[in-house]
Amino acid sequence: MPIKKVMVIGAGQMGAGIAQVTAQAGFEVLLNDMNEAALEKGMNNMNKLLTRAAEKERITENEKEQTLGRLTASSALEDAKDCDLVIEAIVENMEVKTKVFRELDEIAPAHAILATNTSSLPITEIAAATNRPEQVIGMHFMNPVPVMKLVEVIRGIQTSDETYEAIAGMTEDLNKTSVEVADFPGFAANRILMPMINEAIYTVYEGVASPEDIDTVMKLGMNHPMGPLTLADFIGLDTCLYIMEVLYEGFGDSKYRPCPLLRKYVKAGWLGKKSGRGFYEYN
């Protein structure tokens, strides 16, 4: 059955971005959040981003109005009852996610696909909480969603070819590029990125070079648009540590051990840009 109506659950940083690009691509979208204030903030953010895009003539005023017309706020999970696809983007916690997937399994029509934007939790385990594991899949968008082109499409062990094809196709409709990834810790993006960031932190820890110089090495030497320590501050050092722990535990391999300096910064509350201090200081 073609995907027409989509519910995005979680109106935070990722959910609002996913809802926006989905509505821009012509789908009817419900943005759901259990927190009224978060829902209002998510809807307002989308409005602001679309208004700015129209002002800068990246989209027409008409496109903006049509996109807004396809977006509806929802505070009840029951609204998923006539959706063809649900994309979950709530807190990164297995217990909370499986509870929502169990409820969705009861509410959503039998043909509906249930996708998760998790950045680290096993798709296979989330799928096992439902009676339709073949219709559960990972759709890992990158932040900020309206800007970043990549979506990792992650197959759980029971995800069907039909589900994979529907989601890979839909991702192209969103004007994104999808890559097919198997369900292993960190998927592909974070498995490659996070050990690089962790190694950059070890390089500071061992006194090899300063954070500024390490970022310069990677920018000017490797042509990265942003140095790894600047990027770590932007992602949040707590998030970086959490993902390293997922890799370390998931593979049981010491090559993924988080750098002690990363642990120390997180304990100090130096979480990067969001807390005002990480490897750099922010006003």
Name the residue nearer to ligand NAI (CB basis): 38 or 59: 38
Is 75 one of the binding residues for ligand NAI (CB under 6 A)?
no
9 binds ligand NAI (CB under 6 A): yes
Q: Does 29 bind ligand NAI (CB under 6 A)?
A: no
- Would you state the structure tokens that stand for residue 178, as one six-digit string? 């999808």
Give yes or no for a contact between 46 and 69, defined as CB atoms under 8 angstroms apart.
no
Give the active site residues: 119, 140, 152, 190
Q: Could you tell me the smallest distance in angstroms from the CB atom of residue 9 to ligand NAI?
A: 5
Examine residue 63 and tell whether it contacts ligand NAI (CB under 6 A).
no
How many residues sit close enough to ligand NAI to count as binding (CB under 6 A)? Answer: 23
- Pair 166, 154: CB distance under 8 Å: no
Shortest distance, position 176 Cβ to ligand NAI, whole Å: 13
Question: Which residues are CB-contacts of 62 (< 8 A; sequence separation ≥ 6)?
Answer: none
Q: Is 254 exposed, middle or buried (0-12, 13-18, 19+ CB in 10 A)?
A: exposed
Per CB under 6 A, does 38 bind ligand NAI? yes
In contact, 256 and 248? CB cutoff 8 Å: yes
User: How far is the C-alpha of 17 from the C-alpha of 155, rounded, in Å?
Assistant: 22
List the interface residues with ligand NAI, window 138-167 (CB under 6 A).
Answer: 141, 143
Task: Specify the stretch interacting with ligand NAI by CB under 6 A; choose among 31-39, 58-66, 200-208, 246-254.
Answer: 31-39
With contact defined as beta carbons under 8 Å apart, do 107 and 131 qualify? no
Residue from 118, 135, 163, 198 binding ligand NAI (CB under 6 A): 118
CB of 57: closest distance to ligand NAI in angstroms?
28
* CA gap 82, 1 in Å, rounded: 12
CB of 139 to ligand NAI, least distance (A): 10
Q: Which stretch binds ligand NAI (CB under 6 A): 66-74, 115-123, 202-210, 275-283?
A: 115-123
The answer for residues whose C-beta is within 8 angstroms of residue 96's C-beta and 6 or more apart is 90
Identity of the residue, 115 or 200, whose beta carbon is nearer to ligand NAI in the bound complex: 115
Q: List the one residue from 20, 22, 117, 171 that touches ligand NAI (CB under 6 A).
A: 117
Q: Does 15 bind ligand NAI (CB under 6 A)?
A: yes
Return the number of other C-beta atoms located less than 10 Å from residue 143's C-beta: 12
Residue 98 binds to ligand NAI (criterion: CB under 6 A): no
Q: Is 13 in the site for ligand NAI (CB under 6 A)?
A: yes
Sign (positive or negative) of CA dihedral 4, 147, 151, 95: negative
- For residue 210, the minimal CB distance to ligand NAI (Å) is 26
How many CB atoms sit inside 10 A of residue 223's CB?
A: 7
Q: Which of 22, 119, 135, 203 forms a contact with ligand NAI (CB under 6 A)? A: 119
Going from the C-alpha of 209 to that of each of 134, 256, 280, the distances in angstroms are 49, 21, 15
* Shortest-Cβ-distance residue relative to ligand NAI: 12
Q: How far apart are CA 248 and CA 33, in angstroms?
A: 32
Distance CA 100, CA 63 (A): 33
The Cα 98–Cα 224 span in angstroms is 37
Q: Cβ of residue 270: shortest distance to ligand NAI, in angstroms?
A: 18
Q: Which residues bind ligand NAI (CB under 6 A)?
A: 9-15, 32-35, 38, 89-92, 96, 100, 117-119, 141, 143
